[in-house]
Structure 1
Amino acid sequence: MKKLVMICLLMTIAFGASAQFSLGPRVTLVNSKLSLKDAATSVQEGDAEFGYQFGIFMRAKVPVIGLYVQPEILFSKAESTLSLNNQDVSFEFNKIDVPIMIGGKIGPLRLNAGPSLSFLTDASRSDVAGDIKDNYKNTTVGYQAGVGIDILKFVIDVKYEGSLSQFGESVSVGGTTVNTDQRTSQWVFALGFKLF
């Protein structure tokens, strides 16, 4: 995490002298779901649930080629539901998400895509006491793609985030461990404000 912050600071310094650099706060509403690539009969996907993120974004225009790079550091709270033996169980995940978007403009719209890194800080489920973080991977890699528009100093984006790596390998159902390939996906509705 310290290396990640240092990289973002170096990017800030590198582009800070340019008028094409922006920085500001970011809040998002996320609609997330735990997908089961290898589902067992006792474990089924539940409905998507809403969560939120907040943090900062930076945007720097890359000279000559006309593209921009937009890294973000976001503290995230996501919720998902699985049906375990026909009983809905809620899961809550707190993470630090770091999407790094690369994009360009077509008219007033921005099109962007890029990798998204996720660092799990804690996890819980409604039918189990205590933290269940050890049941999940600490770091996962995904991707984001979407569209955005800038209105005055406001930065508005709608993005889809998918997973490139497995988030969880198993889930406990009634004291029995069932192998599953759990992956997260979510829709991201984001609002930012350019401080400069």
Structure 2
Amino acid sequence: MQLRKLKKIIFRGWVVIALLIGSFSLCSGQDIYDVSYKVGPVFKIVSPKIRIDSEYVRIPEEGNEIGYQFGLFTKIRVNNVYFQPELLIATAQNRLDFLNYNGVNGFNPSADFEFTTLEIPVSIGVNIGNLRLDTGPGFSLMLSGNEYFLNEKINVTQEYNQVTILWRLGLGVDINNLLLDFKYEFGLSKTEESLARLIERELVPRQSQLVFSIAYSILRD
């Protein structure tokens, strides 16, 4: 069921992008606007920062693991303003230590979490020469989540919000077909990471992340 929903989202997203490219190309033909577009693959490295204020859970130094994202981007520019939607598959890992677990003093077992998500960021920005400044929302759809705790693997996909909303602030540069970006992302909607099953309390971590991306335009106008 989730795979079917994912296919529908991807198909509808690219239909909208194709319509936008077509409409902007018509405008360009009328010499009203200076319009161009770029399409190609993109790869991102994500450095997350998670904070939890709790005496029951702690994030070890290695708890915020590096994540990766890859997919496709489309950049549509009208004069100096551009619109850039993306479709990405993302993977991430986190680790949490549970302090004095089950009331046993000094027993602090670790739980590892692995997540796969569909990311749909949308940037709206302005070109200043080859430099770019942008902002915009990002939508994260949970595809799968697994927890590894006390030698047991548990699927925790349903314990998380299926959709999380992020906001992004970014700086980028265009070098011919190459697009380099550095972004700061932070959550607008709280991810209900229900850890009640482990510590009998609800915890809502706060997360932000730094993202470096490199994209290459294989189609451009």
Scaled by the length of structure 1, what TM-score is found? 0.88
Letter matched to residue 166 of structure 2: G
Q: Does 1:99 align with 2:121?
A: yes
Q: Does 1:185 align with 2:185?
A: no
Identity, in percent, stands at 30
Give the equivalent residue in structure 1 for 2:75: 59
Q: Distance in 1 between matches of 2:18 and 2:206?
A: 32
Contact 1:33/1:81 (CA < 8 Å) preserved in 2?
Answer: no
1:26 aligns with 2:50: no
- What are the ranges of 5 or more consecutive residues in structure 2 without an aligned counterpart? 1-5, 29-34, 100-107
Does structure 1 conserve the Cα–Cα contact (< 8 Å) formed by 2:181 and 2:213?
A: yes
The CA deviation string for residues 151-172 of structure 1, in whole angstroms up to 9 with x for no partner, is 1211111111111111124314
- DSSP-derived class of the 2:14 partner: helix
Structure 1 or 2: more helix by fraction: 2
Equivalent in the alignment of 1:167: 191
Higher mean C-alpha deviation, range 119-128 or range 134-143: 119-128
2:211 is matched by which residue type in structure 1? V
Secondary structure, in 3 states, of the residue corresponding to 1:120?
strand
Q: Is the 8 A contact 1:67 1:103 kept in 2?
A: yes
Higher RCO structure, 1 or 2 (CA under 8 Å, sep 6+): 1
Unaligned runs of 5+ in 1: none
Q: TM-score, normalised by structure 2?
A: 0.78
What is the aligned partner in structure 1 of residue 103 from structure 2? none
- Whether contact under 8 Å (1:40, 1:179) holds in the other structure is no
Alpha-carbon contact 2:45-2:67 (below 8 Å) kept: yes
The CA deviation at 1:121 is 0.6
Q: Give me the whole-angstrom Cα distance separating, in 2, the residues matched to 1:134 and 1:3.
A: 20
Q: Which amino acid aligns with 1:142?
A: L
Partner of 1:144: 168
Which has a greater percent of strand? 1
Max Rg structure:
2
